[in-house]
Amino acid sequence: MTVDRDGMENLPAALDLAAFERTSSGLFRPVGALPDWLRLDHDTPPEIDLAERFPLLEFFLSDCASVFETGTPARLESDVWEEDEPDGSRRHLQVTALKLGSRSLAILRSLPRERFTYQQLYHDYQLAEEEARQLKQVAERATQAKSEFLATMSHEIRTPLNAIIGMADVLSSSPLTPDQQRCVEVFQRNGISLLNLINDILDLSKVESGKVELETVSMDLRDVISRALEVIDGRAKAKGLALKQCIAPEIPVYLIGDPNRLRQVIINLLGNAIKFTDQGYLEVRVEQDPEGAGPASLRVAVSDTGIGIPEEKLSLVFESFTQADSSTTRNYGGTGLGLTISRQLVELMGGRIWVESQVGRGSTFFFTVKLGVDENPSARTLPEPAQLSTADLERKTSGLRILLADDSEDNRFLILSYLNQANCSIEIAGDGRECVDKFRAGRFDVVLMDVEMPVMDGYSATREIRRYEQEIGICATPVLALTAHAFADMADKSREAGFTTHLTKPIRKTTLLRALAPYSSLSPSASGPSAVSLADQPTQDEPSPDETNDTLLVRVERGMEDVVPAYLDKRRKDVQTYRQALATQDFDTLRMLGHKLKGTGTGYGFPILTEIGGAIEQAALRKDAGSIAAGVDRLAWYTEKVKLDYAQ
């Protein structure tokens, strides 16, 4: 656009404008005649200082420097301001800064007064509001239509797609020529990536349309992370990548939040990490957010030793459908939506997400979330990992390095028999002191810690272990308390001591295996199919002993044939010890014997012994010799009468 200088000289008067051209000294030279309303003190001066004449323009004029200094046409408009007129009325003024060709102009206008009556303003405001309301309605209808369309589309596409993928799976396990096999693999691969894309789009649209409601339930953070790691466990093994997890010991065990959404974000990040990493390791690290408030503000870091992201792409990867490199889809697949969804979910959970990376060295994605602390986890049972059969659980826990601290030989024996098929390596400690010493000397994936032990109890031993870990700067090893007490009584104490979770005696075999399973994905030697495929299998409950059997015929579980007769034998012999203690009113010994019987009975298949033990323990606490004697009689009678049948 060009302006004819001469034509311009005549414009201001015709349009009732005051036009100025900026000179090299930063002052303004009038262009053409100036209107009266400008009320300059003397006749048209060669140059005027606009900022001095209109002090309200000072800031605007300094902003104008950017307009005046550009080489291209540019325009900037000031706010409207008012000036008093001699007749008491008010004039509304506005200035526009223009860069036209090489000319820097300031055009001052007096605006028509009627436009600025308050009625007019109010009317304009109402119009604008109505317009906004209608726009919002249109937008809402559009979003709703989009969501409905996506939901329908996703259903319509997913149903046949599932059939295609399913049939491809069936076909791939039938005898095929190598060429046919390759064709089927193409179906499978593309079918699955299409399914992922649909799921991602659906997820994103749900978050965008505000349809995602976060749950606020009690959760075990360790369980959330272990389950996320389980999902990529198979792929990590196939690529030879180590998986690491580290949760700072000061993070409370039980938190309140949305475990599924949290896990989804971690899985997204781990999924990327494994995709872009060919050697080294992946790590999930959780610490308290240094900028957050309280122990439940977390900062999670998912790191890898993969290809990394160039610096100029770091801020782009969180945008929808954006990949760091245009060849990414070709080489690694993906849709460019995973991080967008993760960012939305993290923001929904009150946090933020960012990435640090170095090309060729790896990336670390950080995110923060604000969760609550579950102060009263008494109603909690153990985390329920995917419903696996005993055999699956045994396979999963295979290879775990366990340190078991228990002073009761029977208990130790019981745990060892439970883990007999699981192929774990187990080191034994007879008391808390020995446990701490062995912990310092060895490397363990998990510690099973009895709470009541001589020399040093489980609480003190766990505290020492936590102190030691902090001292040498290693991550907290899971320590599972073995206790005959209800958790409600010991929640605070155990949390304070640093236990990861607890198992209440009597402990069943599947309970123990389930409790150990989440830690197995961290053990490099652990093997077995990934949790994704296992998760679909139904539970096979272990055979439960017949608790009310009148004939006292007890079915002994497979693998327990050797240990059960010896256990019963010992209990028969204990009867004498009980009677001696009763005679000398040694209630401490009686309580201890009862406590141990309670802890082991069910594990060996005799819930009745657990019940008798509990009754003796309680009676000993009350120093109620009559009830103790009745309990001991029941014990003697039961251990004499019980007949064993062996499960095949």
Number of residues that bind ligand ADP (CB under 6 A): 21
Cβ 266 to ligand ADP, closest distance in Å? 13
Question: Is 304 an interacting residue with respect to ligand ADP (CB under 6 A)?
Answer: yes
- The only residue of 309, 503, 581, 582 in contact with ligand ADP, by rule CB under 6 A: 309
Residues 65 and 83: their CA atoms lie apart, in Å, by 25
Structure tokens at 401: 């390095």
Cβ 300 to ligand ADP, closest distance in Å? 14
Residues 70 and 609: their CA atoms lie apart, in Å, by 91
**Beta carbon nearer to ligand ADP, 313 or 579:** 313
Residues 59 and 226: their CA atoms lie apart, in Å, by 58
- The only residue of 57, 108, 273, 424 in contact with ligand ADP, by rule CB under 6 A: 273
Question: Is 335 an interacting residue with respect to ligand ADP (CB under 6 A)?
Answer: yes
Torsion of CA 248, 251, 253, 257, to 10 degrees: -120
Cβ 165 to ligand ADP, closest distance in Å? 19
- The only residue of 78, 344, 363, 510 in contact with ligand ADP, by rule CB under 6 A: 363
Residues 518 and 385: their CA atoms lie apart, in Å, by 7
349-384 as b/e, with b when 16 or more CB fall inside 10 Å? bebebebebeeeebbbbbbbbebebbeebeebebbe
Contacts 24+ apart (CB under 8 A), 330-334: 332/275, 332/276, 333/193, 333/275, 334/272, 334/275
Question: Is 272 an interacting residue with respect to ligand ADP (CB under 6 A)?
Answer: yes
Cβ 322 to ligand ADP, closest distance in Å? 6
DSSP SS3 for 539: coil
Residues 393 and 422: their CA atoms lie apart, in Å, by 8
Residues 477 and 515: their CA atoms lie apart, in Å, by 14
**Beta carbon nearer to ligand ADP, 276 or 444:** 276
Cβ 620 to ligand ADP, closest distance in Å? 59
Residues 265 and 258: their CA atoms lie apart, in Å, by 11
Cβ 416 to ligand ADP, closest distance in Å? 42
**Beta carbon nearer to ligand ADP, 335 or 483:** 335
Cβ 536 to ligand ADP, closest distance in Å? 25
Residues in the chain, how many? Answer: 648
- The only residue of 247, 255, 265, 307 in contact with ligand ADP, by rule CB under 6 A: 307
Residue 338 phi/psi, 5-degree rounding, is -55, -45
Cβ 263 to ligand ADP, closest distance in Å? 16
CB count, 10 Å around CB of 283? Answer: 20
**Beta carbon nearer to ligand ADP, 107 or 231:** 231
- The only residue of 191, 252, 259, 338 in contact with ligand ADP, by rule CB under 6 A: 338
**Beta carbon nearer to ligand ADP, 167 or 192:** 192
Tell which positions 314-333 bind ligand ADP, by CB under 6 A: 317, 323-325, 328
Secondary structure element (H or E) that encloses residue 556, with its range: strand 553-556
Question: Is 345 an interacting residue with respect to ligand ADP (CB under 6 A)?
Answer: no
- The only residue of 28, 60, 276, 459 in contact with ligand ADP, by rule CB under 6 A: 276
Residues 408 and 585: their CA atoms lie apart, in Å, by 23
Cβ 205 to ligand ADP, closest distance in Å? 16
Residues 71 and 99: their CA atoms lie apart, in Å, by 8
Using only C-alpha atoms, the chain has a radius of gyration, in whole angstroms, of 38
Residues that bind ligand ADP (CB under 6 A): 272-273, 276, 304, 306-309, 317, 323-325, 328, 334-340, 363
